[in-house]
Amino acid sequence: MPPDTRDEHVPELTVREVIEGPALAISLRRIAGEDGLNRPLRHPRVQKNGLALAGHFHGVVPTRIQVLGETELSYLESLSPDARSVAARGFFALGLSCVVVAGGHEPQRALVAAAEATGTPLFVTDARSSRTINALHALLDDLLAPHTRLHGVLVDVFGVGILLLGKSGIGKSECALELVRRGHSLVADDVIRCDWRPPGEIFGEPAELLKHHIEIRGLGVLDLQTLFGITAVRDRKRIDLVVHLSEWNEQEEFDRLGVEERFHAILGTPIRELRVPVRPGRDMGSIIEMAARNELLRRDGRHTAHEFLERIESHLVTRQTSDASVEEVDRWTGEGALPLPAPSPSWSTLIPHASGTESSAWIPAAAPSKEPTE
pLDDT for 365 equals: 44
256 is catalytic: yes
190 is catalytic: yes
| Between 270 and 281, the higher pLDDT residue | 270
User: What is the residue type of 130?
Assistant: S
Predicted confidence (pLDDT) per residue in 216-240, tens digit: 999 999 999 999 999 999 999 999 9
Q: What is the CA radius of gyration of the chain?
A: 32
The whole-number average pLDDT for the span 313-337 is 64
Q: Which of 33-37, 168-172, 206-210, 352-356 has the lowest mean pLDDT?
A: 352-356
pLDDT for 3 equals: 40
pLDDT for 284 equals: 95
Catalytic residue among 56, 109, 149, 151: 151
Catalytic residue among 172, 184, 234, 237: 172
Alpha helices in 214-283 (DSSP H): 224-228
Report yes or no: 267 and 7 within 8 Å, Cβ to Cβ.
no
Mean pLDDT of the chain: 85
Q: pLDDT confidence of 314, banded at 50, 70, 90?
A: confident
Catalytic residue among 190, 195, 212, 213: 190
Q: pLDDT confidence of 307, banded at 50, 70, 90?
A: confident
Domain ranges in the chain are 3-143, 147-299
Q: pLDDT confidence of 368, banded at 50, 70, 90?
A: very low
Name the architecture of domain 3-143. 3-Layer(aba) Sandwich (3.40)
| Between 146 and 6, the higher pLDDT residue | 146
Predicted confidence (pLDDT) per residue in 56-79, tens digit: 999 999 999 999 999 999 999 999
151 is catalytic: yes
pLDDT for 348 equals: 47
Catalytic residue among 105, 256, 272, 275: 256
pLDDT for 319 equals: 75
Q: What is the DSSP letter of 64?
A: S
Q: Alpha-carbon distance 213 to 176, whole Å?
A: 11
302 is catalytic: no
The CATH class given to the 147-299 domain equals: alpha beta
Within 8 A by CB and 6+ apart from 217, the residues are 169, 173
pLDDT for 183 equals: 96
Total count of residues recorded for the chain: 374
